[in-house]
A and B are shown apart, each in its own frame.
Chain A
Amino acid sequence: MSVKFSKDHEWIRVDGNTATVGITIYAQEQLGDVVFVEVPEAGKQVEQGEETAVVESVKAASEIFAPVSGEITAGNPVLEDEPATINADAEGEGWIFKMTLSDASQLDDLMDAAAYVDYVAGLE
């Protein structure tokens, strides 16, 4: 199992050919209170970089992009009634969708934890 990070502040936890995707703690801090999440439906095919989910704070809507290509297997059902789960536990219970990977080599485009920490530090 490995965790990778995108420049759009998504994390992807890979376990074999399946993965769980969410936004980082840094991203939820930037967004503030999350009030609505639109999760994708199971069965949807997504391309790397495609708009796949929407996370809305009081102020604005933010698109969540698929960090890799594949098929959605589940959206997090908890987020419909408890969108603030993303604020409380962005990198755990606040996951947004699960997917299968169609091209595992795309993971090489993403950052590991150390590289992501440096990336965020560069944004401050």
Chain B
Amino acid sequence: MSDQAEDLKKTPLDSLHRELGSKMVPFAGYDMPVQYPAGILSEHTHTRTKASLFDVSHMGQAAIRGSAPAAALEALVPGDLQALRDGQMRYTMFTNDQGGILDDLMVTRRGDHLFLIVNAACKDQDFAHMQANLAEGNELEIMEDRALLALQGPEAAIVLGRLAPAARLMSFMTSEPITVGGIHCIVSRSGYSGEDGYEISVPSDQAEQLARLLLDEPEVMPAGLGSRDSLRLEAGLCLYGSDINETTTPVEAGLIWTISKRRRAEGGFPGALVIQDQIENGATRKRVGIKPDGKAPARAHTEITDKNGNVIGEITSGGFGPSFAGPVAMGYVKAEFAKAETPVDLMVRGKAQPAQVFKLPFSDHRYHKD
């Protein structure tokens, strides 16, 4: 135990987490707060009604600079990066030759370069992948010295707007350099909760100062990875490693919307033939929401069967949705069962529990609209 704990990496907010009474857990090689004394339910509800501060500094941050960074990265992802305007941000994924997903990421055009945020558990692999495969003349710059804070919730704009008025005027999925309390940050209006909010990239040595500034605002409470997970699950957002992985394609995962008309037509990314074929002819399985009829949560890896007991898929994320006030899940089912309200059974502890396919999300997205 203690050996493992010593091996874990720490974020720049580590001592602040402990001061706030967090419960720490290992996650993707980092010692991370899963919850604070308020608990996951309160942190979840607070995020849906006010604003919560999450430390997501474990995620990887990088830039791609060079002669044609958007074209270079497009060779590795199906997202339309050449269409990005300055400051615009896009969700996409690294694919493999089979069309499977190696990681999902956020890409922002920042002037002449791209700014990337990738998953903690995949970052070393992602960075190696880009270093090996970006076209000559383009360089990956790994930003090890930056922390990442997420301020999420319907009052996030009031809070950040008080400290940095420009933040209030930002459009959803855009990014700007903004000074918050004298600290130079890269602020994007984005998040992983289904609510309005911001993700703030900040130099590591000023991260605690910024976190304290935000926590001093009356609307803000700290929140951990536990509520981050229940929030994104209700919002129907994928968790890499659970809902998407190297064996699931963007089409199966319901992420076709991330692939523009031009990229569908032109291809030019790993696995394009598989993905283009699935867009054209449909995939044999699809990611869907699953709502258990009863109260028992169905966790990841729970078998999904049809009403005759034939296995038709598996839950990939499942738990309790505090805002939905009941169990929520998502998983993959054979395409013919993917229609909303299709009745299915979930094999929970050896017993068939009735459930139905549910149109995601469980909690409506309330992103900022201009």
Contact = CB atoms under 8 A, between A and B. Distances in A.
A33 B299 contact: no
Contact of B319 (A38, A58, A80): A58
Interface range on chain B: under 10, 10 to 19, 20 to 34, or 35 or more?
20 to 34
Given A36-B297, A59-B226, A61-B297, A54 B349 contact: yes
A35 B226 contact: no
A36 B327 CA distance: 9
Contacts of A56: 296-297, 320
Interface string A31-74: 01101101000000000000000101111110000000000000
Interface in B1-50: 23, 34-35, 39-41, 44
Main secondary structure, interface of B, reads: mixed
A35 B226 CA distance: 14
Contacts of B212: none
Interface centre among A32, A38, A58, A61 (most CB of B within 10 A): A58
Contact of A32 (B40, B327, B349): B40
B295 A33 contact: no
A80 B296 CA distance: 10
A37 to B, nearest CB: 9
A65 to B, nearest CB: 14
B305 interface: no
A57 B41 CA distance: 10
B252 interface: no
B40 A33 contact: yes
Contacts of A35: 41, 297, 320, 322
Given A33-B39, A33-B41, A54-B349, A80 B295 contact: yes
B289 to A, nearest CB: 18
B230 interface: yes
A54 B351 CA distance: 14
Nearest to A51: B349
Contact of A60 (B227, B295, B299): B299
A36 B295 CA distance: 7
B229 interface: yes
Contacts of B297: 35-36, 56, 61
A61 B322 contact: no
Contacts of A80: 295
Contacts of B34: 59
Contacts of A61: 297, 299
A38 to B, nearest CB: 6
B229 A59 contact: yes
A58 B320 contact: yes
Interface in B205-241: 226-227, 229-230
B295 to A, nearest CB: 6
B40 A57 contact: yes
Interface in A62-102: 80
B39 to A, nearest CB: 5
A33 B35 CA distance: 11
A35 B319 CA distance: 9
Interface in B250-305: 295-297, 299
Contacts of B229: 59
Nearest to A30: B23
A58 B41 contact: yes
Contacts of A33: 39-41
10 contacts: A32-B23, A33-B39, A33-B41, A35-B297, A36-B297, A38-B349, A58-B44, A58-B319, A58-B320, A59-B229
Given A36-B297, A58-B44, A61-B299, 20 more contacts: A32-B23, A32-B39, A33-B39, A35-B297, A35-B320, A36-B295, A36-B296, A38-B349, A56-B297, A57-B40, A58-B227, A58-B230, A58-B319, A58-B320, A58-B322, A59-B34, A59-B40, A59-B226, A59-B319, A61-B297
The 3 closest A-B pairs by CB, nearest first: A35-B320, A33-B41, A58-B40
